[in-house]
Every structure is written in structure tokens, then in C-alpha cells.
Amino acid sequence: MTQPQEGAAGVPVEPATPPETGGARHSGKFQAGPKLKRTRVSGTWIAVIVALIVLVFLLVFILQNQDTATVHFLGMSGSMPLAVAMLFSVIAGGALVALVGGARILQLRKQAKKSRHQLR
């Protein structure tokens, strides 16, 4: 038998006993229902939420960088807000990466198609 412990006021405290469950024992572990599968819609919602967060940060960046910058490109020059100029450069870089990546994908598809025809 365990000794009663003393509480804050020096009063003996009895150890807590679990409530009676009518003879059934509970393991104390949470029993989850069937595991939910991830779907394309849930993935899309996550992507939309992440995109909105990125857009908010982008908007804050543009609004905080309104200083005018002079941009020179291929003999042309103009002035625009610094953040807008940086945004255009990021878009141009992304388009260049997408173009090169798309060309590589087409090359790999052509190669895979050729390999399939050789196996037949």
C-alpha cells in the first residue's frame, strides 16, 4: 500500500483512482479511426494556401520598395519602381528555366518513345 502524499497545505492527499468502467479495461491509448488518404483536392488547397502566403509577402516587398530605378536593357532605358524591376527579372528567369525544362522533358519523352519501339 502506498503512503498518502501531502498537499500544499500539509493535508494528506490520496492517490487518484481511475473511475470504474464496469470491468472493461482501457489501455490509455487513443484509438484512431480509419486513416484518411490524401487527395488531389487536399493537395490543391495546400498549394493555394502557400501561394496566397507567398503573394502576401510579395505584395509587402513591392510596397516597401517603391524607390525608382533606371533600367537599361538592349540599348533601351526606362525607370520603374525597384521592386517591379526585380519582379520582372524573376519572371524572366522563371520563364527561361521553364523553357529549358520543357525542352528537356520533350527530349526525354522522345527518347522513351524510341526505346519502347525498340523493345517491341
CB-based contacts of 33: which residues, under 8 Å, 6+ apart?
none
Taking only the tens place, the pLDDT of each residue in 53-105 is 988 998 888 888 888 889 888 988 889 888 888 888 889 999 999 999 999 99
Cα separation of 109 and 12, whole Å? 78
Q: Which pLDDT value is given to residue 86?
A: 85
Q: Which pLDDT value is given to residue 8?
A: 56
Number of domains in the chain: 1
Domain presence at residue 97: yes
Domain presence at residue 111: yes
Domain presence at residue 1: no
Domain presence at residue 95: yes
CB-based contacts of 79: which residues, under 8 Å, 6+ apart?
68, 69, 70, 71
| 26-36: average pLDDT | 65
Q: Which residues sit opposite 68 in a β-bridge?
A: 81
Q: Which pLDDT value is given to residue 108?
A: 93
Cα separation of 35 and 37, whole Å? 6
Domain presence at residue 104: yes
List the domain range (segments joined by +) for residue 104: 83-119
Domain presence at residue 89: yes
Domain presence at residue 91: yes
